[in-house]
Structure 1
Amino acid sequence: MASISMATVVLLLFCLTFALWFIALVTPGWAVFKSDSTENEYQMSIFYLRVCNDGGCEVYPYKLTVNIFFNAFMFETQVETFLAIVASGICCIVLMCNLKNPTSTKAIIVAFIFLFAEIMECIVAIKLIAPSILFAGLSNMSFKTPHSAILAAVGILTGVSGWVMNFVQYNSMRNQVTQSPTYDQTILLNNEPTRGNDAISVNGSKSDQV
């Protein structure tokens, strides 16, 4: 019962991580700046830049920018984010299957796949949050709370928690296998010390006496 309960908690943590990362993917809040000179507010998404002022908001996809290096940087970031979300989604599906038929194999598969997802999302967070901190120091720009980056960071923390609990569950299942009565081990007669080879194995056959 304890193993099923732990598996449920692990699944919930991984699903929460997937939801947080997906919301961060589709919202323009990785970096939010407001220009003191033009009164424009710049909201940075993974796929586009939204510029808002009193007249409303306009969206500028990154592929339309003239800076080829920036376009390559954002395309790389988009691929990394997509891989992280897909990998975390696969982990959720595997864990759902693991609820019905828990196995240590599924747990270790999830551990490796989600470790890859965590690395990808951490790279994205560092690449996008670091420039935000740099731009925040500019005199003509005021820095606002990057809500998408915060959601992604919280998702990273919940993912780490789920990964650790998944590893604990893996060790628990491995211990249950080695301690199972069907595990291949020697059972002594009447709890007495073994005399020579006088023992009975778990399959019920008696070994020859010396």
Structure 2
Amino acid sequence: MAFASAYAEGGIPLPHQSANQPRGINVGLGVGGLSPSGSSCNGMGVWQGMAEYFYTERISAGWAIKMYGGNLDQEYALIYQRYHIHGRIHFPMSETFGFYISPIIGFETTDLSKIRKSQDDNTSATSGNSDKLAQCSDEYSLNGFSAGIDVGMGWKFATNWGFISGLNYDQNSSPVSQFSFTGGIAYNLRNSFDFLEKNFLGTWLSLELVVHHYWGTDITSWGKSLMLGINLSI
């Protein structure tokens, strides 16, 4: 184990409610809100979960789910689910800094074709309004299979505080791609409670801001989401 003291104090936090650990199970949960990039789209609730297994301190693999729920626009409600599987190569550079590189494969179960067809056939709206409504379904354009890469880093700048950031690129099977940037802070709850210290390798509470942009759609603006999450290293 390269940096035993860092793991003893809870490890190094990473994006998407994750953290470095020498071996074992890593579980993350997050809730928050999404401000879509479509100009006429309503804000929506976001929930995400992640589970991965560390085979060693340098190799882990797992899966993640993200769900959006709420009113898509003034006409449609939506629950959108997207799944990812990943394999990460970790680079713990010191007791306070580490990063990873990860290929990702994604898919989803939400069929937006009915919504898009209804919007295309909506002749009662003006052309400008129809374009704005179509952007709401374009916000969820990663439908079907996708593949990409995820890069993340964590820096523990104090005993119980860390900074996290990451970049993600997802290329869909259709000619649509998504780029996102994550930045946030994390606090190590483990060192504040005896129960957590005895039962978990790490327990990080994090606040993350994610901004994203689509290529291959009519959307020109950036969307953003704010997530409050917790990580449990077992």
Superposition TM-score, scaled by structure 1 size: 0.28
Where relative contact order (Cα < 8 A, 6+ residues apart) is larger, the structure is: 1
Which structure has greater helix proportion?
1
Superposition TM-score, scaled by structure 2 size: 0.26
